[in-house]
């Protein structure tokens, strides 16, 4: 009780405790860099760098500010000298300043040793995913005009062609060290992006790129970045790319800036050609709406229109149909206004074709629009030059795979570039992407060939290191409910010593369990702290309007605790989340990585991820415990681990068959019962409830009595209506 009274007067709290100053909702990042280990390596291990990457003098030539970038810094541009300096680089009339910045960029162009030093310092790894023959041919072709004097190297390459390389040598040959992006100012000076786009980036307060932006933006903006050459206006080497980067690291900005800039250039070169030039596919409506909002901030004043796909919208014109154009507004509007503009309630013939530059959609909605709800063959999108798949591992999972591949095949432009983004990406997804690209080349004769690169930030498929993980054994379902209530009322130290302040998310396995948990916690928050209005439940069975209202309330801080399913596990950005509670254990390690990534966004310290597990969960815990252990090793703290070694050794391994079953259906004991069947003892034991059997029997008897009474009243009304109809029958003509 006292804790929630204090929460209502949070503005008056004294910053006495260390926790209040480090929680993510304060908006302050204690250490914005994700990987402190990389920084220590650069500063302290000069001998290793001398052997691996060149002489110590060459490594020292890299500027200190390049190695010590203030990653995840997103403070607003103030009216200080820093702000004026940032605006000076993008001044519309400053030709002299532009020439100065160009000369600076020439001086700051890095050689291979410097590029390798910067990329390794921040754990950025770029790999060419093409077949080794294609990689070797591309390397020889790029090196011929530059290194004519090194005949010995060419002879060695000829020997390598006759003698097959080992796997280690092939892996080394695939590594690339492209130019890193040190500052967002370089987007204008080096890569010549749109002036208005650069101004929008500066106005939003973005000054220093995050790791994923540092590595991916030069690649996607092309201009020689793949080979590491000096950018020029003649070379355009934008590749197909797979990006694996931690949650909350700025992937949306990384793929939206190149797409918007490319469309702006196309508008200037071919102003008469209009249509959908880029498609962004996201697995959920919440994530798609967030991408649209972020994209519109970047595209403000550029003439690029970004549209969120809605039900009933037409995206292509078929033969014999009138060419009505729907000009979507690019300004932010309320949900009610957007619903009124949605053409879903109109007749099919009156619905105009959407002429937007960037279309953001979920897979099913776009496929239904292309096939007119599967009544016609799939239409093509001949103008689309960029296909972006956000959370690509889900989009290419069996749930969305066919729909996503249909969208990919419908984009028939020969210069199509595909980019796949996620925090987790297995080898099967990479193989599927390579296979799909090869199939396009065979099916479409004019399709051009581009490099396929993979960019990995940090350790692949691992949780972010700047949050604290807690794995709590609760034994039973009642134990989990008790532990969650202790988080709500932290009046005393619990057994796990977990302290968590709202706002936070609570994840469950199924929709019925989310609804049940919400009803159980509905009255746990006292009225003086806001009562039941402070807690809400969000799942896919709710309408779009209800989901939107709940999201708005949670972002505004009106809702403190949001109980949800994996609907909000991916991509959705809540910058003020203090923690995540896995009430039900995740279905896979990837789901755990994405769930806990809702806190600790943009490098903020202080986020807490609490995972409860019971006796039924023990066979499935080891994969989660391994991720927690890896994350704490990346964090570099020498304190007590959340997962002890004896626990890792004692937990059982899970077979591949059980892993697949868990990924599809979750823990068997918590699966929703089939309709028409009675629940067994195991399902009753794992039910979320604090009511006794006697109370449940009384409730059921009361429900049965009410149902019987309702049936009797309906029968009486029906009998009365029948007798009235007999009395009102034909009595002949009156005299």
Report CA 717 to chain centroid distance, whole Å. 56
pLDDT at 47: 37
Count of alpha carbons within 13 Å of 306, Cβ hemisphere only?
27
The stretch 106-113 carries a mean pLDDT of 71
Q: Are strands 306-308 and 175-176 parallel, antiparallel or unpaired?
A: unpaired
Strands 561-564 and 452-457: unpaired
pLDDT at 44 over 50: no
The per-residue pLDDT for 622 is 93
Distance CA 281, CA 361 (A): 5
Report in angstroms the alpha-carbon separations of 335 from 287, 292, 537, 542, 547: 15, 13, 20, 16, 11
Helix (H, G, I), strand (E, B) or coil at 457: strand
Tell me how far apart the alpha carbons of residues 304 and 282 are, in angstroms, rounded to a whole number: 20
Residue 281's pLDDT is what? Answer: 97
Evaluate the omega torsion of the peptide bond into residue 45 and state whether it is cis, within 30 degrees of 0: no
Contact 601, 24 (CB under 8 A): yes
The sheet with strand 561-564 has its strands ordered as 467-475, 607-614, 579-582, 504-507, 561-564, 535-538
Counted residue by residue, the chain has a size of: 735
- Bridge pairing between strands 504-507 and 535-538: unpaired
Over residues 359-382, the mean pLDDT reads: 92
- Across the chain, how many H-helices and E-strands are there? 31, 17
What pLDDT is stored for residue 103 in this prediction?
42
Q: Are 352 and 242 in contact (CB under 8 A)?
A: no
pLDDT at 153 over 60: no
Given a cut of 80, whether residue 677 has pLDDT beyond it is: no
Rounded distance, CA 304 to CA 264, Å? Answer: 7
Could you tell me the sign of the dihedral formed by the alpha carbons of 631, 633, 638, 639, in that order? positive
The two beta strands, 353-354 and 175-176, are unpaired
Separation CA 8–CA 361 (nearest Å): 39
Report the candidate in 346, 251, 353, 359 with the shortest Cα–Cα distance to residue 304.
Answer: 359
Within the chain, all domains assigned CATH 3.40.50.300 are found at 240-457, 467-673+681-685
- Say what percent of the chain tops pLDDT 70: 68
Contact 448, 415 (CB under 8 A): yes
Tokens of 232: 């020029």
pLDDT of residue 279: 97
Q: What is the mean pLDDT of the chain?
A: 77
What local confidence, expressed as pLDDT, does residue 71 receive? Answer: 38
In Å, how far are 72, 106, 450 from 628, measured between CA atoms?
A: 22, 44, 38
CB neighbourhood size of 648 (10 A): 15
In angstroms, the CA 374 to CA 285 distance is 21
Dump pLDDT digits (tens) for 243-292: 999 998 899 999 999 999 999 999 999 988 889 999 999 999 999 999 99
**pTM reported for the whole predicted model:** 0.78
CA-to-CA separations, 735 to 727, 728, 730, in angstroms, rounded: 20, 18, 15
Give the whole-angstrom CA distance, residue 539 versus residue 517: 13
Q: Give the pLDDT of residue 574.
A: 86
| List of residues 6+ apart from 733 with CB closer than 8 A | none
d(CA 492, CA 3): 11
- What is the average pLDDT across 161-168? 67
* Pick among 3.40.50.12780, 1.10.645.10, 3.40.50.300, 2.60.120.10: CATH of 467-673+681-685: 3.40.50.300
Host H or E run for residue 354: strand 353-354
Which range, of 461-475, 480-494, 498-512, 605-619, averages the lowest pLDDT?
480-494
Given a cut of 70, whether residue 522 has pLDDT beyond it is yes
Token reading at 57: 């003098």
pLDDT at 150: 56
Residues of the chain with pLDDT > 90, as a percent, come to 41
Q: How confident is the model at residue 698 (pLDDT cuts 50, 70, 90)?
A: confident
Which among 625, 566, 630 has a CA at the least distance from the CA of 598? 566
DSSP conformational letter for 533: G
* Euclidean distance between CA atoms 284 and 395, whole angstroms: 10
To the nearest 10°, the Cα dihedral for 146, 148, 151, 153? 0
Nearest of 343, 243, 344, 335 to residue 292 by alpha carbon: 335
CB of 197 closer than 8 Å to CB of 261: yes
Quickly state the pLDDT bin for 599 (edges 50, 70, 90). Answer: very high
What mean pLDDT do residues 443-447 have? 85
Separation CA 467–CA 607 (nearest Å): 5
In this structure, what token pair is assigned to residue 132?
Answer: 């080794």
CA proximity to 631, closest of 508, 488, 461: 461
Q: What residues form DSSP beta bridges with 240?
A: 452
**pLDDT surpassing 60 at residue 37:** no
Q: Which residues pair with 452 in a beta bridge?
A: 240
CATH superfamily of this structure's domain 240-457 = P-loop containing nucleotide triphosphate hydrolases (3.40.50.300)
User: Which pLDDT tens digit goes with each residue over 411-420?
Assistant: 999 999 999 9
> Using alpha carbons only, how large is the chain's radius of gyration in Å?
29
Question: What distance lies between CA 624 and its chain's CA centroid?
Answer: 20
Q: 26 Cβ partners below 8 Å, 6+ apart? A: 20, 606
Q: Is the pLDDT of residue 723 over 60?
A: yes
Question: pLDDT tens-digit profile of 389-416?
Answer: 999 999 999 989 999 999 999 999 999 9
Please name the helix (run of DSSP H) or strand (run of DSSP E) that holds residue 433, with its range, or none: helix 427-443
> What confidence category does residue 56 fall into, taking pLDDT thresholds of 50, 70 and 90?
very low
């Amino acid at each position: 009780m006292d804790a929630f009274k204090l929460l209502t007067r949070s503005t008056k709290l004294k910053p006495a405790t260390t926790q209040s100053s480090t929680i993510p909702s304060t908006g302050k990042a204690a250490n914005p860099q994700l990987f402190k280990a990389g920084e220590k390596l650069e500063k302290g291990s000069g001998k290793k760098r001398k052997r691996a990457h060149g002489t110590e003098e060459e490594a020292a030539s890299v500027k200190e500010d390049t190695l010590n970038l203030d990653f995840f810094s997103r403070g607003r541009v103030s009216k200080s000298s820093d702000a004026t300096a940032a605006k000076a680089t993008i001044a519309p009339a400053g030709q002299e300043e532009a020439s100065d910045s160009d000369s600076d960029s020439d001086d700051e162009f890095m050689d291979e040793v410097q590029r390798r030093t910067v990329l390794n310092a921040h754990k950025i790894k770029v790999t060419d995913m093409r077949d080794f023959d294609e990689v070797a041919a591309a390397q020889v072709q790029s090196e011929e005009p530059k290194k004519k004097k090194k005949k010995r190297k060419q002879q060695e390459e000829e020997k390598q062609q006759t003698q097959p390389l080992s796997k280690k040598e092939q892996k080394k040959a695939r590594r690339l060290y492209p130019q890193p992006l040190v500052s967002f100012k370089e987007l204008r000076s080096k890569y010549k992006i749109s002036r208005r786009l650069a101004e929008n980036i500066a106005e939003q307060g973005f000054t220093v790129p995050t790791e994923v932006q540092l590595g991916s933006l030069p690649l996607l903006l092309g201009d020689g970045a793949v080979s590491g050459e000096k950018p020029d206006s003649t070379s355009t080497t934008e590749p197909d790319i797979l990006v694996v980067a931690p949650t909350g690291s700025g992937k949306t900005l990384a793929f939206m800036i190149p797409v918007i800039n490319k469309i702006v250039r196309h508008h200037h070169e071919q102003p008469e050609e209009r249509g959908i030039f880029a498609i962004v596919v996201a697995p959920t409506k919440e994530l798609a709406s967030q991408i649209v909002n972020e994209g519109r901030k970047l595209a403000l004043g550029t003439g690029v229109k970004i549209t969120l796909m809605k039900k009933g919208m037409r995206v292509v014109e078929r033969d014999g149909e009138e060419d009505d154009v729907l000009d979507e507004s690019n300004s932010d509007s309320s949900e009610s206004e957007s619903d009124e503009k949605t053409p879903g309630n109109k007749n099919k013939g009156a619905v105009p074709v959407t002429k937007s530059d960037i279309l953001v959609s979920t897979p099913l909605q776009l496929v239904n629009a292309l096939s007119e709800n599967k009544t016609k063959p799939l239409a093509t999108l001949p103008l689309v030059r960029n296909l972006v798949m956000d959370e690509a591992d889900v989009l290419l999972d069996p749930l969305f795979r066919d729909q996503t591949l249909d969208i990919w095949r419908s984009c028939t432009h020969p210069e199509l570039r595909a980019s796949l983004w996620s925090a987790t990406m297995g080898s099967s997804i990479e193989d599927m992407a390579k296979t799909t690209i090869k199939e396009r080349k065979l099916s479409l004769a004019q399709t051009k060939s581009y490099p396929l690169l993979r960019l990995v930030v940090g350790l692949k498929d691992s949780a972010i290191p700047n949050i604290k993980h807690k794995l709590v054994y609760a034994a039973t379902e009642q134990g989990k409910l008790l532990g969650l209530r202790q988080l709500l009322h932290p009046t005393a130290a619990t057994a796990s010593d977990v302290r968590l302040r709202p706002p936070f998310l609570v994840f469950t396995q199924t929709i019925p369990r989310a609804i049940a948990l919400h009803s159980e916690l509905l009255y746990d928050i006292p009225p003086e702290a806001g009562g039941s209005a402070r807690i809400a439940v969000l799942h896919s069975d709710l309408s779009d309007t209800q989901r939107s209202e709940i999201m708005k309330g949670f972002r505004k801080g009106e809702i403190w605790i949001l109980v949800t399913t994996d609907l909000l596990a991916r991509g959705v950005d809540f910058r003020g989340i203090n923690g995540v509670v896995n009430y039900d254990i995740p279905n896979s390690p990837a789901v755990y990585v994405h769930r806990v990534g809702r806190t600790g966004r943009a490098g903020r310290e202080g986020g807490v991820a609490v995972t409860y597990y019971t006796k039924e969960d023990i066979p499935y815990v080891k994969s989660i415990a391994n991720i927690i252990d890896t994350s704490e090793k990346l964090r570099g703290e020498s304190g007590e681990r959340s997962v002890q070694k004896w626990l890792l050794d004692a937990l059982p391994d899970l077979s591949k068959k059980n892993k697949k079953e868990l990924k599809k259906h979750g823990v068997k004991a918590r699966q929703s019962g089939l309709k028409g069947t009675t629940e067994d003892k195991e399902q009753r034991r794992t039910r979320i409830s604090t009511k006794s059997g006697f109370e449940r029997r009384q409730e059921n008897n009361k429900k049965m009595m009410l149902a019987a009474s309702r049936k009797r009243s309906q029968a009486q009304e029906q009998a009365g209506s029948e007798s009235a109809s007999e009395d009102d029958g034909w009595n002949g003509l009156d005299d």
